[in-house]
Amino acid sequence: MKFSWRVLVLWTLPALVIGFFFWQGAFANVPADMGKNAANTRMTYGRFLEYLDSDRVTSVDLFEGGRTAIVEAVDPDIENRIQRWRVDLPISAPELISKLKEKQISFDAHPMRNDGAIWGLLGNLIFPILLITGLFFLFRRSSNLPGGPGQAMSFGKSRARFQMEAKTGVKFDDVAGIEEAKEELQEVVTFLKQPERFTAVGARIPKGVLLVGPPGTGKTLLAKAIAGEAGVPFFSISGSEFVEMFVGVGASRVRDLFKKAKDNAPCIIFIDEIDAVGRQRGAGIGGGNDEREQTLNQLLTEMDGFEGNTGIIIIAATNRPDVLDSALLRPGRFDRQVTVDAPDIKGRLEILSVHARNKKLDPSVSLEAIARRTPGFTGADLANLLNEAAILTARRRKDAITLREIDDAVDRVVAGMEGTPLVDSKSKRLIAYHEVGHALVGTLLKDHDPVQKVTLIPRGQAQGLTWFTPNEEQGLISRGQLKARITGALGGRAAEEVVFGAAEVTTGAGGDLQQLSGMARQMVTRFGMSDLGPLSLESQQGEVFLGRDWTTRSEYSEAIASRIDAQVRAIVEECYDNAKKLIRENRTVTDRIVDLLIEKETIDGEEFRQIVAEYTDVPDKAQYVPQL
């Protein structure tokens, strides 16, 4: 538990105050002047009467209504000096006053102070006062938290961040690799800056633009660039901030957001992850969420209802367009859908150029080679790649990022952190044969992607890795290419069986088998690449709210299902036999590469192809990837 001085003070101070008041209450009835006449010793009432009878008492002061007395008397034990004693008198002693008068002893009665009732009242009020004060501080502290009790009256207010002139620090020049999307959105900026150019010819300003694309492709970055370029008021909010546990709060926030936007038109409203609030209505088991659907209904009304939103452009981003409600996607609400996809090689080169501005690169580093090495990388992946390379450079105490740091960063991003290399043992040799089997089969098949690197250095969960770089210019994949990929995936298992025998086959091919089984089944059921003919036997779209894989409908009988299984098995067995044949025919080069791999632990693709070319003909691939 974390120690807090504030909590310590909060609990200690009331205890001290309460103790103080109890102490005051205990002595409330003691007069102030009793302290002056206080006695150090006590005397019994009987001895006091003896001293009184023997004329030793010189004066008496009565306190507390006659219950206590301070007596001055001559003490025979200390040479007849005058001493003070405190005597507790009985409740009823009427003869004492008479006796004092009879002996002509000076006595005085001191009245009791009547402030005990005040201290008692304050003592009773102190605990409620402390309780109310503590609750006040707790409510004051919680009022600063989102959704705290102090904000109970502001539930219906929009939480959109507002900037009169959005200074995001991002311009269109800072966004690279998605030129088509930039052109679409540059028109939006022109609409806001020079609307007369379009209204003069009867053009209507689009009400909404939906950015669609995988995560990390730059949708939010584009929205920041629009805000930075347009120079108009900018509202930004996440779709999840509309929905609360209280019914009607989301709709109230939508109304408040559009009310503020109308007051500041022309302006831009950016809704990130709109699928959190814009999902299909009435979907899923048991229907939809009433609060979310009310929020969506209000959003639909505000975007295109009886009241127009002149000068308000809504930009939304999502990577789940398949779950959005059809009423939200229609023209009049989102007039444009801009696809922000993963960049091609030219786009990756531009993105790398942008992110390399503040990086110190060695002159030998080629951004084009990095772009060719990273097919499928998004803008966020490329930014992370260069950042990882910079971290490795600093860790190795180098002055600039070199090819080695770039190569290690690519491997780390793709496969994970580098592990400890295995010692030279039977296990390491088996893994080497497995990885060389993948690389050799992929190299000897014409339709297979070229090998990039073979390594025995563990990364992530893999004890060894073989990289293939696909040709990204191919938008379509042929049947021969699919079978070549299945054969290459089986190359590792085939090498284990050919070299070590069926009894020594390991579990290392588990992930390969799972991947190739899925490819073979799709060839039969979706792509019509089997003896069953050109038929699509499985629906490609499942219920997104229940899980696509769980709700995939099988549109065939049990007899067809049996034939599908037979076709999948036939494809896999044919590819496996082909892989074993290639390994047997090239056993000599396989053993040589394995010995070299155990020694060097990493072989790049170009060196691998040169060694294989010494023993057999290597088919001419469509594209060889430049080495880093």
pTM here is 0.66
Encoded tokens for 308 = 């127009």
State the pLDDT at residue 576.
Answer: 95
Comparison of pLDDT for 160 and 598, the residue scoring more: 598
pLDDT score for 473? 57
User: Where among 274, 304, 339 does a domain terminate?
Assistant: 339
Report the CATH number at residue 403: 1.10.8.60
Average pLDDT, the chain: 79
Whether residue 497 is found in the same domain as residue 549: yes
Per-residue pLDDT for 503 more than 70? yes
- Range with the poorest average pLDDT among 227-231, 454-458, 464-468, 594-598: 227-231
pLDDT band for 575, please (50, 70, 90 cuts): very high
Q: What is the pLDDT of residue 440?
A: 93
> In this prediction, what percent of the chain has a pLDDT beyond 70?
78
Residue-level pLDDT at 68: 81
Name the token pair of 327.
């009423």
pLDDT at residue 102, rounded to an integer: 75
Active site residues: 435
Residues 418-456 have pLDDT tens digits of 777 777 678 888 999 999 999 999 999 988 888 888 988
Q: Which CATH number covers residue 466?
A: 1.20.58.760
Residue 15 lies in a domain: no
480 and 357 fall within a common domain: no
pLDDT of residue 467: 83
CATH number at residue 96: 3.30.720.210
Angle at 478 between CA 475 and CA 480, to 5 degrees: 145
Q: pLDDT digits over 278-334, tens only?
A: 888 776 555 555 778 888 888 888 888 776 667 788 889 998 888 888 888 888 888
Position 98 confidence tier, pLDDT thresholds 50, 70, 90: confident
Whether 275 has a pLDDT exceeding 90, the answer reads no
**Long-range contacts for 283-292 (Cβ within 8 Å, ≥24 apart)?**
283/323, 283/543, 283/544, 283/545, 284/545, 284/546, 285/545, 285/546, 289/243, 290/247, 291/243, 291/244, 291/245, 291/246, 291/247, 291/248, 291/249, 291/250, 292/243, 292/250
Domain span at residue 482? 426-613
Whether residue 167 sits in one domain with residue 310: yes
Sequence-distant (6+) residues with CB within 8 A of 181 are 211, 218, 222, 338, 339, 340
Same-domain check for residues 449 and 545: yes
Residue 567 has pLDDT above 90, yes or no: yes
Confidence band for 578, pLDDT divided at 50, 70 and 90: very high
Question: Does residue 287 form part of some domain?
Answer: yes
* 23 falls within a domain: no
Checking if the pLDDT of 261 tops 50, the result is yes
Same domain, 308 and 349: no
**Residues contacting residue 627 through CB under 8 Å, at least 6 positions apart:** 369, 604, 605, 606
For residue 233, what pLDDT band results from cuts at 50, 70 and 90? confident
Residue 264 in any domain: the answer is yes
Together in a domain, 190 and 309? yes
Residues 510 and 463 in one domain: yes
If asked whether residues 603 and 534 sit together in one domain, one would say: yes
Establish if 172 belongs to a structural domain: yes
Residues 315 and 375 occupy one common structural domain: no
Q: Tens digits of per-residue pLDDT, 23-82?
A: 554 444 444 455 445 556 788 877 878 888 777 788 888 777 667 888 888 877 777 777
In a domain, 455, yes or no: yes
Domain boundary at 388, 415, 442, which?
Answer: 415
- The predicted pLDDT at position 143 comes to 54
Residues 469 and 571 in one domain: yes
Residue 1 falls inside a structural domain: no
Q: To which H or E segment does residue 452 belong?
A: strand 451-455
Does residue 268 have a pLDDT over 70?
A: yes
3-state secondary structure of 626: coil
> Which residue, 94, 109, 124, sits at the end of a domain?
109
CATH number at residue 262: 3.40.50.300
Residue 2 located in a structural domain: no
Q: Say what the pLDDT of residue 308 is.
A: 64
**Structure confidence at residue 589 (pLDDT):** 92
Per-residue model confidence as pLDDT tens digits over 451-471: 888 988 888 777 888 888 876
Is the bond preceding residue 266 a cis peptide, omega within 30 degrees?
yes
Between 22 and 563, the higher pLDDT residue:
563
* Domain tally, the chain: 4
Residues 397 and 491 in one domain: no
